[in-house]
Amino acid sequence: MEELYKEYVISFFDKTLQLHGDRPEAVGWSGKGQNLRFEDLLNIDNDIRGKKVLDYGCGKGDFYQFLKDKNIPVSYTGFDINQHLISLANIKFPEAEFREFDIEEDRLSENFDYIFLCGVFNLKVAGINETIRNVLKMLFEHCNTALAFNALSDRSLNKDFQLHYVSPEKILQFALKELSPHVLLKESSNSDDFTIFVYKKEKGL
């Protein structure tokens, strides 16, 4: 993604954070919608307890709080390009690791068992589809077990002009061709979006 568009994304969430404070709305969700999407992410496997997890586009650490509330202990790392969201996450959760990080610019030198991206590319900016594919490819190279990617579906009947909607079929084809033959596409509990799970090997083996 070009620097100009990254600056727009950062500025957008600076404003929503200032407006809403430490609430799901600060990162573009309702409380109910956020929880539904986090529940969907847990379908990645039977149990992720004790695993090394990367939350890419972690915002202010809401998924980490969700895991804590569910009593699911993990070795957690959260990455986001917005320094204000990361600063808030570090204040709230000093026991976890949060970093300002952009995989298109920064070198990732470690691997994770599970990588999660939830609503990371929901803002409409130029070149976003190419960015999605590039980021997923780079992240999957550092994934030991599985990656989960959540996005707004272009099948949604209630589209917002500011938001980006992804074709489930096209992203499925991309994942099968470029990432792994072991891919699951699941319609989310919220009918406006979907989740794709990409596995290093066939699930259950």
pTM: 0.92
pLDDT tens readout for residues 59-107: 999 999 999 999 999 999 999 999 999 999 999 999 999 999 999 999 9
Q: Which residues, at least 6 apart from 72, have a Cβ–Cβ distance to it below 8 Å? A: 42, 48, 49
pLDDT tens readout for residues 17-38: 888 888 877 777 777 788 889 9
Per-residue CA distances from 25 to 93, 97, 177 (Å): 19, 23, 35
pLDDT at residue 2 in the model: 66
With beta carbons less than 8 A apart as the criterion, state whether 150 and 119 touch: yes
Dihedral angle of Cα 123, 125, 127, 132, to the nearest 10 degrees: -10
List, in order of start, the domains of the chain with CATH numbers.
3-199 (3.40.50.150)
pLDDT tens readout for residues 123-166: 898 889 999 999 999 999 999 999 999 999 998 888 888 899 99
Tokens of 43: 């379908």
pLDDT at residue 189 in the model: 59
Q: How far apart are CA 186 and CA 198, in angstroms?
A: 11
Q: Alpha-carbon Rg of the chain, whole angstroms?
A: 16
